Structure formats: structure tokens, C-alpha cells
Amino acid sequence: MTSSPSPSRKALSKIACNRLQKELSEWQVNPPTGFKHKVTDNLQKWIIEVTGAPGTLYANETYNLQVEFPQHYPMESPQVIFVPPAPLHPHIYSNGHICLDILYDSWSPAMTVSSVCISILSMLSSSPEKQRPTDNDRYVKNCKNGRSPKETRWWFHDDKV
């Protein structure tokens, strides 16, 4: 996987570590429906398998989400991207970047990996058609050097999908 646009990554703070361990243990007891955490020994980077919800355009398709945690998680938001191939969706770019406000401007430390996953699945589920964002090519070209989506200035224009 060459997918990871690695942010300048510092080791997790102790607080971030505690919080992630807690999240992980709660995930193991009660994982969000449709998600499977692929076990590794890396607490700072999770790979999560998503299965499209039944009855939606993505039913039975599986994708991989990569969630990478910054030093000061949960004050800072995690970096969440789809590992390409990313699902065809009006808010998901072909390089896996996801245009979803809670991952950037509207992040709150009270959110968890689990709640973020649920938001992403709900975004997938409500999609009316499988297509890329209209500015996909331009955006992906701009992101060439493995830039993190967190460095993008997102413009959240559409809350229907």
C-alpha cells in the first residue's frame, strides 16, 4: 500500500494513547455495524474494513479505511482516507480523500473512530449515484506529493449526500 500520505508524524502523546486504547477495547466489545478492524500492533494507524449497507448502492462491496492518529488526538482530528480503490461517490476523491466536515473543521474531541465510521457509512448509504466529485481530476493532481486531506481547505457545500 503506497496510499498513505504520511503526515509529519509524531508519536502519540500519553493522553492520545490512553484514549485510543480505550476506543479499541470498546470497539472490540461493540464494533459499529458494517465495520471490521484489521488487527495490527500499530495503535497509531488503523485499517478498517467497511461493507456497504444492504439495500444501498454499495451493498456487498468492501473498502478499506485508513485512520491515522496525530500526536494530540483527540484534540486534533484523525486523518481518515479510503485506501484506493475508493468507492465511487460524489464526495470521495479517487485518491481516497473524503470531503466530510467532521473530519476537518467540524471535528470535535467528543467524536470517536466509531462515530466517524458511522458517519462515513451513512454518507455512502445516502448517495444517489456512483460518481466522482466534479473536480476530482484537478484535486487529485494538486494532492500529488502525498498530501494529507487535512491540509486541504475544504468547502462543504452540499449536505444532502
Partner 1 sequence: MTEEEVAMEMEAVEAVYGEDCVILDSNPPHLHLHIKPRTAEISSQQFVEAVVRIQASSKYPDEPPRISLIESKGLDDQRQKHLIGIVQEKASQLSSSLMLVELCEEAAERLTIMNHPDGDCPLCLYPLFPEDGWSKEMPFMKLMSCFHCFHCECIIRWWNWLHTQKDTDSKSGDTLHMRRGTSTHEGNSGSGGQSLGNCPVCRKVFHASDIEHVLDLVGAQSSQKDSGLIQGEDEDPLLQSDSENVRRERFEAILKTQEEKGGLVQPKKNISVVPGMYLPPPAPVTASSNEEEAGHSREQGEEAPKEAESETNSSSSTNHRGRGRGRGRGQNVNRRKPNSQDPRKPTRQWVQRAREDDK
Active site residues: 99
**Per CB under 8 A, 29 contacts partner 1:** no
How many CB atoms within 10 Å of residue 82? 22
Terminal-to-terminal C-alpha distance of the chain: 29
**Per CB under 8 A, 151 contacts partner 1:** no
Nearer to partner 1, 74 or 149 (CB): 74
Distance CA 117, CA 98 (A): 12
Judged by CB under 8 A, the residue of 10, 38, 72, 130 near partner 1 is 72
- Segment 31-70, which members bind partner 1 (CB under 8 A)? none
Binding mask 97-136 for partner 1 (x = CB under 8 A): --------x--xxx-x------------------------
Judged by CB under 8 A, the residue of 10, 26, 33, 85 near partner 1 is 26
Residues at the contact surface with partner 1, assessed by CB under 8 A = 15, 18-19, 22-23, 26, 72, 74-75, 105, 108-110, 112, 153-154
